[in-house]
Amino acid sequence: MRIKYILILSVCVAAISFEGCKKDIKPIVEPPPPNPGINYTIPTYADDYSSIASWSSRNKWNLANVHDPSVAYYNGYYYMYGTDASYGNEAVGHGHFQGKRSTDLVNWEWVGGPFYAAPSWVADSLNAIRSRMGLAAIVKENIVYDFWAPVVRRVNVGGKDILRMYYSIVVDNYIKTGNANTPANFDGSWSERAFIGMCESTDPVGAAWTDKGFVTCSSSDRGKNYNRTGLSDWSAYFYYNAIDPTFIVTPEGKHYLIHGSWHSGFALLQLDATTGKPLKPLGEPYANSASELSARYGLRIGTRTAGSRWQGSEAPEIIYKDGFYYLFMAYDGLDIPYNTRVVRSANIEGPYLDITGRNFTSGSGDCYPIVTHPYKFNLSNGWVGISHCCIFQKESTNEWFYMSQGRLPVNVGGNAYSNAIMMGNVRRIVWCPASSGEPDNLWPIALPERYAAVPDYGTITKDSLAGTWEHINLKYTYGQQDGAAALTLKADGTLSGALTGNWSYNATKKQLTMGQIIVCVEREVDWEANPRRVTFVYAGTEKNLNATYWGKKTK
């Protein structure tokens, strides 16, 4: 069961446009210097895309209608695919896991998804499992499907690069009777399982994909006891919820799938490198104990709360960098409070620890640092619901990127459905020290402003950082946006406003020290300004802060 998509998929909304704030922000001290060799245009597309939300306008969407994205580079393009979700449900009936592609990570064009209907193997697999459980088959026409959260990767099979996609299809019928999952139909059982399948392509722009079928499905440690005491019972029949897959190839060439959402945690399942299917037979998707189940359906490598069967963590995403596996995850419900955390391990199987050493694998408590969180700079509505991310490296560079949906807050511009506006947020990642005493203990934090491919105009100097900033203490407050406060970096090396004390700057490392906290400085576009302009931004944390510092220079 997954309740978070109700807000997107259950309402059909009218297209409502609104005017953003027109108040200008004063120019920054150091505008980009003239450079005849650089021809740069700041993106102009609107955050509120409701006026172009119709299906007929999809070629104007750019990063509009992005949800649970995954990105892979293939044949000169970054291809992005995501969950079936769109403002006003405009994409319904036009295929599943639709995508976009881009050459610069700023401008994106729509591309089709891999298929238009649930592959036949899903119903066949479902009813085969039901038969072995002593349950009647569900008539195929009565099966309710949801299509969620694919992950796409470029892999090399037999010397040839292909795109491989793992996708989630949820069956939303009750287990006992097979009726559709609605309160009126409640029959004292849990809803049916989710499935993860796989498909491959060498022609993604032509939407030509070959489906490879079943990979895994939701699995239970309660045998065939699928009974539920009532709709307020959240103890979950399934131990592993087979949605939100992520995929990685280790430096040793081993392939792994990680998945899980809101039930008992994240499962690590080893795959065959050639077929992309489980390396070992899975057996029945139910067992009499968690240990018996995990031996076949995957090792549990993380859980937000040990022992909980209903916890607000989902959407694992994993990368490998400099000796560590970094495991990103989403916290809480998607509408407003969605936020991103990260833990890491030297071993693919864990244990995964946070910046303080807290053990996520054993569920020892909420993890830090915060990578993104609902926020609001001044003179803007800000963003909420910023999570379920993909993390990827820009081709042939050492630059890493974070991408997720961002939602407008509720009732922006008088639009009662503004929170269903889902704009793709691409952000650069900076690798920041855990503390001033650990300069080489680096952790990934997303920048506060979205990526706009700002050219390198040269060294960022200490003098150029002096001035007024908007500073956000990006701390965890459930369902609330963190707001901005004024911060002044004085020319004499002192701070006033949101922070006090002294500041210094290492131009070689682009690290700004404010008191005991080191933040990383970059150039990005001030998306809230009108007109938008290039400015300086920072992001950073400290291992005992339980928060992240975000900031941008305003004058």
The string of pLDDT tens digits covering residues 310-338 is 989 999 999 999 999 999 999 999 999 99
**What is the Rg, in whole angstroms, of the alpha carbon atoms belonging to the chain?**
23
DSSP 27: P
State the pLDDT confidence band at 44, using cuts at 50, 70 and 90: very high
Long-range contacts: 135-141, Cβ < 8 Å, 24+?
135/175, 135/176, 135/178, 136/178, 137/178, 138/173, 138/178, 138/192, 139/178
Q: What is the pLDDT of residue 15?
A: 34
Q: What is the pLDDT of residue 29?
A: 38
Q: What tokens does 162 get?
A: 């292909």
Please tell me the distance from the alpha carbon of residue 241 to that of residue 341, in angstroms, as a whole number. Answer: 20
Provide the whole-model pTM.
0.93
Q: What is the pLDDT of residue 11?
A: 36
Strand order of the sheet with strand 438-446? 384-393, 400-407, 422-435, 438-446
The string of pLDDT tens digits covering residues 394-411 is 999 999 999 999 999 999
Q: What is the pLDDT of residue 269?
A: 98
Pairing label, strands 324-331, 313-321: antiparallel
The string of pLDDT tens digits covering residues 233-252 is 999 999 999 999 999 999 99
Q: What is the pLDDT of residue 5?
A: 40
Chain mean position to CA 545: 23
Q: What is the pLDDT of residue 37?
A: 54
What's the first-to-final CA gap in the chain, in angstroms? Answer: 48
Give one DSSP letter per residue of 47-83, joined into a string. Answer: S--GGG-SGGGGGG-TTBS--S-EEEEETTEEEEE--
| Tokens 């998607």 belong to residue | 334
- Give the range among 15-19, 180-184, 204-208 with minimum mean pLDDT: 15-19
Please tell me the distance from the alpha carbon of residue 13 to that of residue 34, in angstroms, as a whole number. Answer: 45
Contacts of 451 (CB under 8 A, 6+ apart): 105, 106, 401, 426, 427, 428, 524
Q: What is the pLDDT of residue 555?
A: 85
Pick the residue with more confidence: 221 or 13? 221
Average confidence score pLDDT of the chain: 93
